[in-house]
Amino acid sequence: MIKKISHIGLAVGNLKEASAFFQENFGLPFTDQENFGELIFSFIPMEGTNLELLQSTEPDGQIAKFIQNRGQGVHHISFEVDDIQAELGRLKTKGIKLINEKPYLNAHNELVAFIHPKSTYGVLIELIQA
């Protein structure tokens, strides 16, 4: 069962510039920069959810490719769930295309898995279990 929107991931070309933009123009604080695989990222905490700013460190990384194809902007929406494995099983039985059939640990040791945007009206959906 989906509990809430955990965060909205934004693909950006320059994490420092994007963080400064949100802070200077909207007064939104951001967390320290973190690294995970080919990504650097930080969060902008907001009441009830977060924005996640994502930058690729590799020219052929997933976020870099996304920006090349679609430009900067919304990359994914993350839904927090109670039981990620049960959700993945339920969605699979409904014929929904999964990118990850088995969850994996993210940078914060949370279980995550992605649902293919071809099954979700063009939106990349991340499931996350804290």
pLDDT in tens, 81-111: 999 999 999 999 999 999 999 999 999 999 9
Please report the pLDDT score of residue 1 as a whole number: 87
Tokens of 113: 């898995």
Collapse the DSSP code of 97 into the 3-class scheme (helix H, G, I; strand E, B; otherwise coil) and give the result. coil
Compute the distance between CA of residue 11 and CA of residue 43 in angstroms, rounded to an integer: 12
The letter for the amino acid at 42 is S
Give me the residues of the chain with pLDDT under 50, please: none
Domains in the chain, CATH or no CATH each: 2-129 (3.10.180.10)
As a whole number of angstroms, the longest Cα–Cα distance in the chain is 46
β-sheet bridge partners, residue 74: 10
Residues of 2-23 as b/e, b for ≥16 C-beta within 10 angstroms? eeeebbbbbbbeebeebbeebe
Neighbouring C-beta atoms of residue 118, cutoff 10 Å:
10
